[in-house]
Amino acid sequence: MRKIKAIGKVGLKGELYPSKEIREFVGLKPGEKVLYIATKEKLDVIPLRNLLKYYEEDSVRISLDEFEELTKEVLKG
């Protein structure tokens, strides 16, 4: 799988601004929803349209409670 690296910015109110190169590579569109998965060292940003693919590739297992909580967060918007 091809990967690219690029520098982005954090706005005054905490907005995340990925570079144009990253947005085009991933196919991000204005207003599109993304899922953030964070640790202290890393932040993953996954377009919701790719959520199932992301979890299938990494073979992530989550409990039903975790799934329901995540679903509620996504639907809240």
| Residue whose structure tokens are 């005054």 | 12
Give the pLDDT of residue 69.
87
Q: Which domain holds residue 8?
A: 1-30
Shared domain check, 44 and 21:
no
Report if pTM > 0.75.
no
Q: How far is CA 23 from CA 6, 10, 29, 57, in A?
A: 10, 15, 8, 21
Give the pLDDT of residue 6.
93
CA distance 11 to 32: 18
Q: How many domains does the chain have?
A: 2
Q: What six digits make up the tokens of 69?
A: 């909580």
Give the pLDDT of residue 5.
92
10: helix, coil or strand? Answer: strand
Shared domain check, 57 and 75:
yes
| Residue-level pLDDT, tens digit, the chain, 77 residues | 789 999 999 999 999 999 999 999 999 999 888 889 999 999 999 888 866 666 666 556 788 888 888 888 888 76
